[in-house]
Amino acid sequence: MEAVSAPAQLRGLRFAVPKTVFQNDLSSAVADAFTAALGRLSSAGAAIVDLPMAEFAQAAGVNPRGALVSAEAYWWHRKWMKDGADKYDPRVIARIRLGETITAADYIELTKLREQFVRTINSVAAGYDAMLMPTTPETAPTIVEAAKDDDTYTRFNLRMLRNPAIVNLFDGCALSVPCHVSGTAPVGMMIAGTQNTDRKILAIGLAVEEVVRKPRG
């Protein structure tokens, strides 16, 4: 793919801002930084359109407990797991092993659901140059917080993966640009597009980054 040589022109671009799932349970730091970044983009001439986009609620049913990923990961790793399971991180291999219990019929059903989900999101995103959402719903926890116990680690892990995982599920492309005040915990704004819009999203990202970066003061 050729390198993107220049940022897009922000004025006149239309950005959809989905409310469903992506903005659930945001920490105050993330919510404040994201809202401020949207305001700066609007001031720069971009059209910011808040939308329910309730179709994103289907994601949990399309990929329950990461079933699609687990099934494919198990297929790929099973030959190494047979004799080298001790070389895997216990938390990682536990998630891969979930794929062992997924039947071929279940996997085919999930792939069909995903295909429909991709078509649905492509349809609702049509007419917008990109979608904007917080990259993660909260700032990164400390190592001590995340390593407290397995339940705590799993909770943080799933929470931080939530928004990017949905973009993967509709076969989209995305990048994240920082939108926090310099010197504070990082907050990212995710700029997402549908299938095969990588160059467009990269060009938009160059323009967005210049506007939403916020120095201290």
For the chain, the structural domain boundaries read 14-62+112-212
* Residues 96-111: tens digit of each pLDDT: 999 999 999 999 999 9
Q: How confident is the model at residue 213 (pLDDT cuts 50, 70, 90)?
A: confident
Q: How much is the pLDDT for 87?
A: 95
Amino acid at 59: A
Q: How much is the pLDDT for 5?
A: 65
Q: How much is the pLDDT for 4?
A: 65
How confident is the prediction for the chain on average, in pLDDT?
94
Q: How confident is the model at residue 77 (pLDDT cuts 50, 70, 90)?
A: very high
Q: How much is the pLDDT for 216?
A: 56
Q: How much is the pLDDT for 2?
A: 58
Q: How much is the pLDDT for 217?
A: 52
Residues 155-173, mean pLDDT to the nearest whole number: 95
Query: Is the model's pLDDT at 69 over the cut of 70?
Result: yes
Q: Which CATH superfamily is domain 14-62+112-212 in?
A: Amidase signature (AS) domain (3.90.1300.10)
Q: How confident is the model at residue 88 (pLDDT cuts 50, 70, 90)?
A: very high
Q: How much is the pLDDT for 3?
A: 65
Q: How much is the pLDDT for 180?
A: 94
- pTM of the predicted structure, to 2 decimals: 0.91
